[in-house]
Amino acid sequence: MIQSTIQFVLDNKIVEIDFKNSPYTPTTTVLNYLRSLPNHKGTKEGCAEGDCGACSVVLASINAEGNLTYKACDSCLIFLPMLQGKQLITVENVGTSDQMHPVQKAMVDTDGSQCGYCTPGFIMSMFALYKNHQNPSREVIDDALTGNLCRCTGYRPIIEAAIQSCVNEGKDHFEEKENEVKQLLYHIQHHQRSIHIYTEKQTYFQPKNLKDALGLRRQKPEALLINGATDLALKVTKNKELLPSLIDLSGIQELQQIEDLGKNIIIGSGATLEEIKNYCQEILPALYDTLAVFGSLQIRNLATMGGNLGSASPIGDTPPILMAYDASVIVQSVRGERTIRLLDFITGYRATLLEKDEIITHILVPKPAENVHVKWYKISKRKDLDISTVSAGFRLELDEDEVVKDIRLVYGGMAAMTKRAKEAEEYLLGKRWERSHIEHAMGLIDQAFTPISDARSSKDGRRVMARNLLMKFWVETVGVNV
Ligand SMILES: Cc1cc2nc3c(=O)[nH]c(=O)nc-3n(C[C@H](O)[C@H](O)[C@H](O)COP(=O)(O)OP(=O)(O)OC[C@H]3O[C@@H](n4cnc5c(N)ncnc54)[C@H](O)[C@@H]3O)c2cc1C
Ligand code: FES
Ligand code: FES
């Protein structure tokens, strides 16, 4: 059974869009959709690439416990069909000048409302913070606001507004309407089928389960897969490309699970990076460190690990750390399933071993033994919301005499693909973990790489960074077994 329309909740009502009879296409962004409506122009376009947060909205959906969860997202990166089964909340819904929400009132009281362009986005991020945290720490507040830029004044009064307002267990007028909204969302879910949209120029499929997705992948090998669309949406918003055929995996619950299997953590390719981050803080701390500085909360609420590995970018943040953990990807097609070590999976610049009919379904991450040390480093021009200039995932196992039993030095940003410094690894294996050997190995790191010069750094700068990261790793791990 399939359907050709999408349904979501806006202004506490179900909205249905039939793309055959509408001015919208399946790749119209939620931002452009809102800007086309008479009463939702508070959502602004600043950059159209996920960097400024002026377009922030909140998406609410029902979680496994039957509660509504509220997530701030950049509406410039969301294609309309991705709203299926969700509540879209904009700044107009949060409050009005007659009936202000506590976060809006606090922004007024602290003089945090600085310009009309950015303030709606700040309100939306603060609203999601309000719903999810009571008395949040400064770290949580900073993280919630990282994806919202102000170019005029500064963040102090805005942060003060968040501190003042987020004290109320999320109580507000949304609470009164939650049951009503849940009924609407349950109604949509109950009638939900796989979505097949055919327009004159585009086809867009949103399968409801993995079986349907694999069937479609086989039938439409030319279609692009999307999940969070935080990479792919830029083709539309920046390059103005027409994407003729898309298979959107974001509605497949089977791909969104994260589970502890004992020796391994299995992560669904469609789990969002924010969900993975929250899950792995204790179990895979170096992966947590990676995700803590990945994009912004708005990006992590959409982006997936399947998308980060699927794009196989040489500056993608998860490949180096996942290779250091010795992770594998599980890929599936109607022909069956394969498990491939991530070290082998990425084969070149944005190239992988994925066949045309396959989908990355899971990532298998072995839990390291206690005496194995895994660390992650990222050098970028800014700590937050910035792409890596050089990144590294390192793994070290020492014996009781501080001799290297196993070592892996994986770098991002140093070549056309994520790559190991094999010469340095081979040199260090069997040697004592001491400074003189590290200094020699730093000289060998150059041999593995052909970095480029670009806006982020010169190639020589990258070489220095790569060498020094090894020294940093040594400083942080020397004597750990003592
Ligand atoms: C503002 C901003 C900040 C960013 N910051 C970072 C950062 O700090 N670090 C970083 O590494 N990246 C960053 N990115 C890039 C992007 O967010 C990540 O690569 C993200 O993980 C992509 O996931 P997605 O689900 O959105 O992928 P999508 O855009 O949906 O897809 C990306 C690619 O993966 C393929 N794909 C998706 N799912 C699958 C699947 N299940 N199987 C096979 N192929 C699949 C798609 O076909 C496509 O080629 C940033 C992007 C933006 C816009
Ligand atoms: S318009 Fe800048 S993040 Fe969307
Ligand atoms: S609040 Fe808009 S630029 Fe500062």
Return d(Cα 69, Cα 22) in angstroms, integer.
30
Choice from 287, 301, 308, 329 to test ligand 1 binding pocket (greatest atom count within 8 A of CB): 308
373 found inside a domain: no
Q: Is 113 in the pocket of ligand 3 (CB under 6 A)?
A: no
Task: Summarize pLDDT for 298-314 with one digit per residue, the tens.
Answer: 999 999 999 999 999 99
The CA 299 to ligand 1 mean position distance, Å, reads 9
The CA 120 to ligand 2 mean position distance, Å, reads 12
Q: What's the domain range around 295?
A: 254-367
- List 74's β-bridge partners, or say none: 56
Return d(Cα 127, Cα 56) in angstroms, integer.
11
> CA angle at residue 353 from 351 to 354, to 5 degrees?
95
Which ligand lies nearest the alpha carbon of 148?
2
Same domain flag for 76 and 204: yes
Please identify, by atom number, the ligand 3 atom nearest to the C-alpha of residue 119.
1
pLDDT score for 482: 58
Task: Summarize pLDDT for 349-399 with one digit per residue, the tens.
Answer: 999 999 999 999 999 999 999 999 999 999 999 888 899 999 999 999 999
Same domain flag for 332 and 271: yes
Burial of 465 (0-12, 13-18, 19+ CB in 10 A): buried
The torsion angles phi and psi of 327, rounded to 5 degrees, stand at: -75, 160
Return d(Cα 180, Cα 53) in angstroms, integer.
29
Return d(Cα 31, Cα 36) in angstroms, integer.
9
Tokens matching residue 43: 């959502």
Please identify, by atom number, the ligand 1 atom nearest to the C-alpha of residue 316.
11
Task: Summarize pLDDT for 15-57 with one digit per residue, the tens.
Answer: 999 999 899 999 999 999 999 999 999 999 999 999 999 999 9
The CA 180 to ligand 1 mean position distance, Å, reads 34
Residue nearest to atom 3 of ligand 2 (CA): 50
Residue 191: band (very low, low, confident or very high) from pLDDT cuts 50, 70, 90: confident
Domain boundary (306, 334, 367) is at 367
> CA angle at residue 374 from 401 to 285, to 5 degrees?
130
Output the average pLDDT for the chain.
Answer: 96
394 found inside a domain: yes
Domain boundary (171, 188, 209) is at 171
Task: Summarize pLDDT for 319-343 with one digit per residue, the tens.
Answer: 999 999 999 999 999 999 999 999 9
Collapsing DSSP to helix, strand or coil, 151 comes out as coil
pLDDT score for 360: 98
Q: How many CA atoms lie within 13 A of 350 on its CB side?
A: 3
Beta strands in 308-353 (DSSP E): 328-333, 336-341, 346-348, 351-352
Q: How many CB atoms lie within 10 A of CB 189?
A: 13
The CA 243 to ligand 3 mean position distance, Å, reads 33
Which ligand lies nearest the alpha carbon of 44?
2
Is the pLDDT score of 480 beyond 80?
no
Q: Which amino acid is at 21?
A: N
Same domain flag for 179 and 167: no
Same domain flag for 84 and 126: no
Mean pLDDT of 158-171: 93
Same domain flag for 73 and 184: yes
The CA 281 to ligand 3 mean position distance, Å, reads 33
Name the pTM for this structure: 0.97
Tokens matching residue 55: 């377009």
Please identify, by atom number, the ligand 3 atom nearest to the C-alpha of residue 116.
2
Is the pLDDT score of 146 beyond 80?
yes
Same domain flag for 178 and 64: yes
Q: Is 413 in the pocket of ligand 1 (CB under 6 A)?
A: no
Same domain flag for 7 and 39: yes
Q: What is the CATH number of the domain that holds 136?
A: 1.10.150.120
The CA 317 to ligand 2 mean position distance, Å, reads 21
Choice from 150, 156, 158, 159 to test ligand 3 binding pocket (greatest atom count within 8 A of CB): 150
Is the pLDDT score of 169 beyond 90?
no
Same domain flag for 135 and 276: no
How many structural domains does the chain have?
4
Is the torsion defined by CA of 80, 82, 84, 88 positive or negative?
negative
97 found inside a domain: no
321 found inside a domain: yes
191 found inside a domain: yes
114 found inside a domain: yes
- In our burial notation (b when 16+ CB lie closer than 10 A, e otherwise), range 149-158 reads bbeeeebebb
Find the helix or strand (DSSP H, E) in which 365 lies.
Answer: strand 359-366
59 found inside a domain: yes
Domain boundary (138, 171, 204) is at 171
Is the pLDDT score of 205 beyond 70?
yes
Contact 286, 376 (CB under 8 A): yes
